[in-house]
Amino acid sequence: MPLSRRVSRLFLVSFAAVTTTLVIALLLRLSAVQAQSAPQNQLTVYSPQTTYSVPLVEIKGQQYFGLVELLEPLGSVDARADGKKYKLRFTPPGDRPQEAQFADGKEKAKIRGKDFKLPGNFALQNGRGYLPIAAISDLLSRLTTQETQFHPAARRLFIGNVPERFTLGIFKDKASRLFIGFPSAVNPSIATEPGHVRFTFRHEPVVSPGLDSVKFDDPLITGATFSEHDGLAELDVVGTAPLMASFADGGKTIIVAAAPPPPPPVAQEAPAPQVPAQTQPSPPQARQPAVPRLLVLIDPAHGGGDIGAAITPSLPEKEVVLALARRVQRELNNRGIAAGLMRNSDVAISLDQRAVSANAARPALYIALHAANTGRGVHVFTSLLPAENVSAQGFLPWDTAQAAFLDLSGAAAGSVAAELEARKLPNATLVAPLRPMNNIAAPAFAVEIAPPGEKVDEIASPAYQEQVAQSIAAGIAAVRGKLPQVRP
Amino acid sequence: MTRRSLLIFAALLLVALGLAFYALQLKRRVARDEQLAAQQQLAMPPPVNGPPTAVTLYIASDSEGILRRTEANVVLPSERTERARAVLRALFGQYLQTPSAHPIGAGTDIRDVYLLADDTAVVDTNAAFADAHPSGVLAEELTVASLVVTLNANDSKIQRVKILVNGQERETLAGHADLRRFYLASNLGQVAKDLQ
C-alpha cells in the first residue's frame, strides 16, 4: 500500500473515532435533557376520602412509590429512618395505629407484627422509604384493612368500595341518543372530533362495565370503547356523524347525540346576524335549583421544580405544605365544609395560574399554605393592599382584586389566630405582600408554619401539623356564616 | 483516495462542522454568562471623606419576627442617590455579618439607586439579593419592609420604592414577596410598627 494511502486511511480512522465520540457525547447530552423534561410517572389513587396522585420513581429498573406520599392522604403518618431500618406508624381516621418496619435492600418486612415478604427490595433514599409498586395492594390491605384493587398497566389504585361502573343504553326516538349512566356525578374532560366523542376521567374512579368494547346496532352511534392508561380512564364513543355530549341528572348521566348541523352560510351583503350560542340539549328531567355551596380552596404553595424553602436538606417546603393541606382538607371535611386542593401531587403551578384557577373555582375562602425554617410557630397573613371601599360584584382589577374582600379575609384570619392561641401555639397575624394573594377575588389568607421549637424537622411532625390543621379548620368553621356561599 | 473514502471524509467533515458550530454556541453562552457576572461585580464605591453621620436602620430579626429600629454611624456622600445607596449598604452589611439575626445571601449588594419624580426610589440590587435570599413569607417581608422603611427614615421625601434585581423586574424575591409592585413607605411603615 503506498504511503500516501496509508496516511490517508490512518487520518480517516482517527478522524472517525474522534467524531464518533463527540457525536455520542452530544447524543447522550440531548437524551439527558429529554429525560429531564419527560413527564413524571404517576399513580392515581382513588379512596373514599379523596383522589390523588403519587409520583413513581425508577429504582434499579423497577417502579417504586414513596410510602409517605401514598399513605399521608389516607391518615396520619409518622415515619422515620433509623440507620438501615425504616419504621412507619400509620393511623387511619378513627382507627388504631398500625405499625410496619422495613430494612434497606431487604425483601423481608414486618407489618402489624407479622412477617411479610415484599415482591422486591425495600429502598431507603435520603431518609425516605420506597416500595416496589407490585407491593402496593398487599401493603394497603394490611394497613387499612380495606379491600384494594390495583390496575398495574393503567397505574390506577382503588381503595375500598370506590370503583364506579357505568351503564350504556341507546334510545331511538326521532334521533338516536346514547345514555351513559354513572352512580355519582362525573366531570370528565370532553374532546370531539369527526365521528368521535372522547371522555377522559382523571378524578373519577370510573371502571369498565364488564366489556371494554361495545358495538351498537344503530346507524348513528356505532360503538363505544373503554380504556385505562397513565392513571386515567377514557371512554370513546364512535359515530357515523359529528356527535356532541350533554349532561343530565346533576352530572350522573351523559347523553351523546348527533351534533346540530352548522348554520347555513350568510350572504356578505346581509346584515350580520346574531348567531345564537351553541346550546346543549336540555336534560330529560328538570334540574333541581342549585344548592348554594361553601367551598374552601386550599393552595399548598410551590411544587414540581419549585421546592420553596429547604426546611432541611432533605425536606423541601413543597412537601411540608402538601401534607398540611391534606390534613386541613380532612379537618374541614370532618366539620362538614367542602374543601378542594389546588394541587394534590408534586406539580408545578405558576402564581398567575393559581390565581386564575382559584377565581374560576369561586371559593368561599382561599388559603395559601407555606412553611419556613426561620422563626417559630404559625404566622397568618392577609394582603398588604390598602382597604378600598369597592364592590365585590362585577369586574375587579387583577392587581387589586383582593381589596374588595379584605374585611372578610381579616375576619377569617383572626378567627384562625384565635384557634391557634386557644391551642397555645405561638402565632402572629400580619399583612404581607405575598403573591398571588392580591389577585384572589375571594376572602383569602395565607398561613406560614415554622418549627414549633428548636428542632427544625419538628415542622413535619404529625402532632404539630394536626394541631395547626385543626386550628385552621376550627377557625374557618367559626366564621362560616360570614363567608359568601355561591351557586355552582 | 477512493471515492468511498472521499464520501466518508465529506460526511465526517459535515459532522465536525456541526459540532464546531455547537461548540461555538456554547462558548458564546459562557462568554455571555461571564459578562453578566462581571456586570454584577460592583465598581468600588467612590471614596468618601468627612465625618460619620448617624443613620436610622430598621434591622430584622427572624427568630423574633420583628423589625428593630437602631442607629449607626455611616460616612455619607453628598449626592442623594449615593447617600441612599450607602444607607442600604449599611443595612445589608448588618445582615451579611456572621452570625446574623436575619441572614441574606452572601454577596448581596445594591447596584444603584435611582430617584424618579423626587418621591420614588428605584433600588437596583444584584442577582445574589434574590437568588440567594432565604425563602419564606416572613423572611422576605422583613427584608422588603426593612429596606423600604430604612430608606424613608433617612430620606423622608422617598414615599414609593420599587425593587429591581440586576436591572430587571422579578416576580418575587425568593418565591413569596411580590417584587412587581411599588411599595408605599406609609404602608410598610405601618407593617414596621406592627413588627416592632
Measure the N-to-C terminal CA separation of chain A; round to a whole number of Å.
87
d(CA A444, CA A392) in angstroms, rounded, equals: 13
Residues of A in Cβ contact (< 8 Å) with B62: 374-375
State which residue of chain B sits closest to A373, comparing Cα positions.
B136
Lowest mean pLDDT, pick from A95-99, A303-307, B42-46, B116-120: B42-46
Is A265's pLDDT higher than 70? no
| Of A41, A101, A106, A50, the residue nearest A75 (C-alpha) | A50
Strand order from edge to edge, sheet including B160-165: B110-116, B120-125, B160-165, B183-184
- Which chain A residue has its CA at the smallest distance from B141's CA? A432
Residues of A in contact with B141 (CB under 8 A): 430, 432-434
With contacts defined as CB-CB under 8 Å, which chain A residues touch B135? 308-310, 317, 372
The span from the CA of A239 to the CA of A232, in Å, is 23
Cβ pair A433:B8 closer than 8 A = no
The residue count for chain B: 196
**For chain A, percent of residues with pLDDT exceeding 90:** 33
Between β-strands A156-159 and A42-46, what pairing exists: parallel, antiparallel or unpaired?
parallel
Contact A149, A157 (CB under 8 A): yes
Report whether pLDDT(B71) > 80: yes
Question: How many angstroms separate the CA atoms of A311 and A461, rounded?
Answer: 13
pLDDT above 80 (res A292): no
Phi, psi of A464 (to 5 degrees): -65, -45
Other CB atoms within 10 A of residue A440 CB: 25
Q: Do A372 and B22 touch (CB under 8 A)?
A: no
Domain ranges of chain B: 1-41, 53-194
Of B8, B138, B178, the CB nearest to A379: B138
pLDDT band at A36 (very low <50, low <70, confident <90, very high): very low
For residues B32 and A442, give the distance between their C-alpha atoms in angstroms, rounded to a whole number.
45
Q: Looking at residue A31, what is its pLDDT?
A: 41
| Nearest residue of A to residue B139, measured between CA atoms | A374
Is there a contact between A19 and B19 if contact means CB atoms under 8 Å apart? yes
Helices (H), A258-316: none
Is A12 within 8 Å of B172 when comparing Cβ atoms?
Answer: no
Average pLDDT over residues A361-390: 89
Domains by residue range for chain A, with CATH:
42-159 (3.30.457.10), 164-258 (2.60.40.3470), 295-478 (3.40.630.40)
User: Of A392, A368, A398, A362, which is closest to residue A380 (Cα–Cα)?
Assistant: A368
**Is A437:A380 a contact under the CB 8 Å cutoff?**
no
Number of neighbours of residue A405 by Cβ within 10 angstroms: 24
The overall average pLDDT reported for chain B is 88
Q: Between B171 and A7, name the one with better pLDDT.
A: B171
Distance CA B29, CA B41 (A): 19
Whole-number pLDDT of residue A264: 53
Provide DSSP, A137-149.
HHHHHHHH-S-EE
Mutate to test the interface with B, among A350, A384, A440 (most CBs of B within 10 A): A384
The DSSP letter of residue A451 is -
| Whole-number Å distance between alpha carbons of A64 and A56 | 6
DSSP A330: H
Instruction: Quote the CA–CA distance of A420 and A427 in Å, as a whole number.
Output: 7
Bridge partner list, A192: A197
Which residues in chain A are contacts of B63 at CB distance < 8 A?
374-376
Residue A101 has pLDDT above 70, yes or no: yes
Q: Which residues of B touch A459 (CB under 8 A)?
A: none
Amino acid letter, A263: P
Greatest mean pLDDT among A25-34, A270-279, A457-466, A467-476: A467-476
Tell me if residue B81 falls in helix, strand or coil.
helix
Per-chain mean pLDDT for chain A: 82
Instruction: Choose from B172, B176, B182 for mutation: most chain A CBs within 10 A.
Output: B176
Q: Single out the residue of B174, B181, B65 nearest to residue A399, CA to CA.
A: B181
Neighbours of B2 (CB within 10 A): 10
**pLDDT band per the 50, 70, 90 thresholds, residue A34:** very low
The DSSP code sequence of A177-242 is EEEEE-SS----EEEEETTEEEEEESSS-EE--S-SEEE---SSEEEEEEEEETTEEEEEEEESS-
How many CB pairs below 8 Å do chains A and B form together? Answer: 106
* pLDDT score, position A231: 85
The stretches of A83-164 forming alpha helices (DSSP H) are 136-144
How far is Cα A446 from Cα A472, in angstroms, rounded to an integer? 11
Determine, for residues B19 and A22 on separate chains, whether the beta-carbon distance falls below 8 Å.
yes
What confidence tens digit (pLDDT) does each residue in A84-100 have? 899 998 888 778 888 99
ipTM, interface predicted TM-score of the complex: 0.75
Confidence (pLDDT) at A268: 40
